[in-house]
Amino acid sequence: MQVFSWCFVFLVLLCFSWAQVEVAILEVDTSQELSVGELLERANRDRTPDFDEPVLIGGDIAVRSEADRNADPCTSSGCLWLKYTDGNVYIPYYIANHYSDREREIIVRGLQSFSTVSCIRFRPYQNGDHEWLSIESRNGCYSYVGRVGGGQTVSLSHQGCLYHSTVQHELLHALGFNHEQTRSDRDNHIRVHWDNIIEGMEYNFYKINTLNQGTPYDYNSVMQYERYAFSKNNLPTMEPIPNSNVSFGKATQMSQNDIDRLNRLYKC
């Protein structure tokens, strides 16, 4: 009887373990199907910031205070990272030691992806660096837009932020880029359905003087949110025009337009 009891307990534990594995696999598969906008909105939906964390606008854009909420972040050359005489832009980074080896690999892969398509060169932090990206797992996914001085936080939380698309998205913010749907020419390409937006979230759709660099509006940009972003009623908050059936906001990595405007902005 005792042997039977132990066998029963073992089978229960085995089934529970397999159930956990199946759930984990399902979560990974589901996440891989989501666009960068969906991943970011999900990761930041129930965010409870610590006292020392910044205010967020646009879902994942950090600003220093509430007073900066209505400012246009990084609309001048003063927020760009410096270019060296060899033609490259070297940006120091520090990755906090609370990431696992696998998580660190995802972050490093995202950092290195810029060097193959542009003059951006992310390099490890060295003593004496005065400005750098401090990549940490804080509450949610977020970044400041452009160079703000000192060790500026890029938050890539363990919970939902460690995907190639989200790493590239936050790094593009740090390089000076805003969301595609906030472009000054947005209304020629996207119709915003204000009545479907969660109350208090309308500012996420305000237009600003973005750094478009003469490139066309890009539905496939890794900076473009999907059509149900910040929806309060499961109805679209954005609709492409003139063809409402055009797919948009589904990017999982930088588009060619993202790369082109990055190279133009930094004169690579």
Binding site per annotation, positions: 169, 173, 179
Q: Sort residue 228 into left (φ over 0), alpha (ψ -120 to 50) or beta.
A: alpha
Residue 152 corresponds to which tokens in the numbers above? 């500026």
Binding-site annotation: residue ranges for Zn(2+):
169, 173, 179
Contacts 24+ apart (CB under 8 A), 23-31: 31/160, 31/163
CB 44 within 8 A of CB 59: yes
Contact 29, 163 (CB under 8 A): no
Helix or strand holding residue 135 (H, E):
strand 131-136
Question: Does the annotation mark 170 as catalytic?
Answer: yes
What are the residue ranges of helices labelled H in the chain?
A: 2-33, 36-44, 101-112, 164-175, 256-265
Alpha carbon separation from 93 to 85, 131, 183 (Å, rounded): 20, 9, 28
41, 170, 180, 226: the active-site residue? 170
Strands 150-156 and 141-144: antiparallel
**What does the buried/exposed string (b/e) look like for 223-246 if buried means 16 or more CB atoms within 10 Å of the residue's CB?**
bbbbbbbbbeeeebbbbbeeeeee
Instruction: Report yes or no: 81 and 147 within 8 Å, Cβ to Cβ.
Output: yes
Local structure of 263: helix, strand or coil: helix
Catalytic site positions: 170
